[in-house]
Amino acid sequence: MPGYRSGEGDPAHTLALLWREPGFGRSSRGPKQGLTVDRIVDLAVELADQVGLDGVSMRSVAKALGVAPMSLYTYVPGKAELLDLMVDTVYLRMPRPALDQKVWRARLTAIAQQNRALFKAHPWLVEVSTARPPLGPGLMAKYEYELRAFAGLNLDDVTTDDALAYLLTFVQAASRAALTARASQRDTAMNDEQWWAANEPLLARVFDPEAYPTAVRIGSAAGAAHAAAYDADHAYTFGLARVLDGLAGLVPNDLSAIVASQQPPAV
């Protein structure tokens, strides 16, 4: 479950800052080093990319900027509003290549890939729940672009929104699982193959393979196929294909789904 939530700050201040409403995020009392909301947010994103959200605070951002912590509050009220600004900023900077000439499965695959790339570039983002999204220009541009990937499918508005949420929820979950797997390798200084080799003697002492024959057979086959208990890239590719197969059931007379489902989308 994500450990951070957007939309936790003061809505009036947050929306004014997100849309850069005149009079918000500027202060005549601030330091003279050219401090701005954009500079604060850019530094906070860089810091989160390096150390994660737990390492981002008004104090740590101020230290990185070389200013007194209290000076930041004349631009951004607090960390809750700062988080919304960070999320909206990375949304705003996402690439949005043309989707018009692609078939619908290719369009949705492109949307999934773009979001997966976003989570890879900003791993902290997988820990942010956007159940109450920051309704800034970045989120609105992202939402508008991604909804257009469903053009021509003759889905009603609510179903279109549901289908997009279904797709993006899968990508976020897969990205979080991949991040956890990478963290395990980093923290143990071993890949999965090395970890299993190191722990196999211990497991053999307590584990009775005859009690779990199905788990042993299938687990061994999967482990041999992926050289690991879990392969994040394979899980993403397999899962995305199944998500698209499921959405194909909403598309009337989609003969392309029969062919496309035979081959998983390229990673």
Summarised one tens digit per residue, pLDDT across range 50-98 is 999 999 999 999 999 999 999 999 999 999 999 999 999 999 999 999 9
The answer to whether residues 9 and 74 belong to one domain is yes
Pair of tokens at residue 253 = 């007379």
> Does pLDDT of 167 surpass 70?
yes
The reply to whether 49 and 163 lie within a common domain is: no
Pair (113, 137) in one structural domain: yes
CATH code for the domain of 49: 1.10.10.60
In sequence order, the β-bridge partners of residue 129 are 5
pLDDT in tens, 86-141: 999 999 999 999 998 889 999 999 999 999 999 999 999 999 999 998 899 999 99
Q: Percent of the chain, pLDDT > 90?
A: 64
* Domain interval for residue 66: 4-92
Q: Which residue has the higher pLDDT, 253 or 56?
A: 56
Mean pLDDT over the full length of the chain: 86
Residues 116 and 82 both lie in one domain: no
Q: Provide the pLDDT confidence category of residue 212 given band limits of 50, 70 and 90.
A: confident
Look up residue 187 and give its amino acid.
D
Q: Quote the tokens at residue 235.
A: 């899980």
Q: Is residue 219 part of a domain?
A: yes
Report d(CA 161, CA 148) in Å as an integer: 11
Q: Are residues 72 and 169 in the same domain?
A: no
Q: Does any domain span residue 156?
A: yes
What interhelical angle do 11-18 and 79-92 show, nearest 10?
30
State the average pLDDT over residues 173-194. Answer: 77
**Number of domains within the chain:** 2
Judgement on whether residues 115 and 221 belong to the same structural domain of the protein:
yes
- Give residue for tokens 């989707």: 99
Q: Are residues 120 and 210 in the same domain?
A: yes
* Rg, C-alpha atoms of the chain: 23
Q: Which of 92, 124, 148 is the last residue of a domain?
A: 92
For the record, the structure tokens of 101 come out as 């000439």
* CATH number, position 192: 1.10.357.10
Q: Are residues 34 and 126 in the same domain?
A: no
Full DSSP string of 195-226: HHHHHHHHHHHH--GGG-HHHHHHHHHHHHHH
- The answer on 129 and 246 residing in a single domain is yes
Collapse the DSSP code of 113 into the 3-class scheme (helix H, G, I; strand E, B; otherwise coil) and give the result. Answer: helix
The verdict on 156 and 242 lying in the same domain is yes
Question: Do 68 and 140 share a structural domain?
Answer: no
- Residue linked to tokens 């029969």: 258
> Is position 143 within any domain?
yes
Residue 98 belongs to some domain of the structure = no
With contact defined as beta carbons under 8 Å apart, do 106 and 95 qualify?
no
Show which of 43, 71, 92 is a domain's final residue: 92
Domain co-membership, 126 together with 175: yes
Q: Structure pTM?
A: 0.84
C-alpha 81/C-alpha 37 separation (Å) is 11
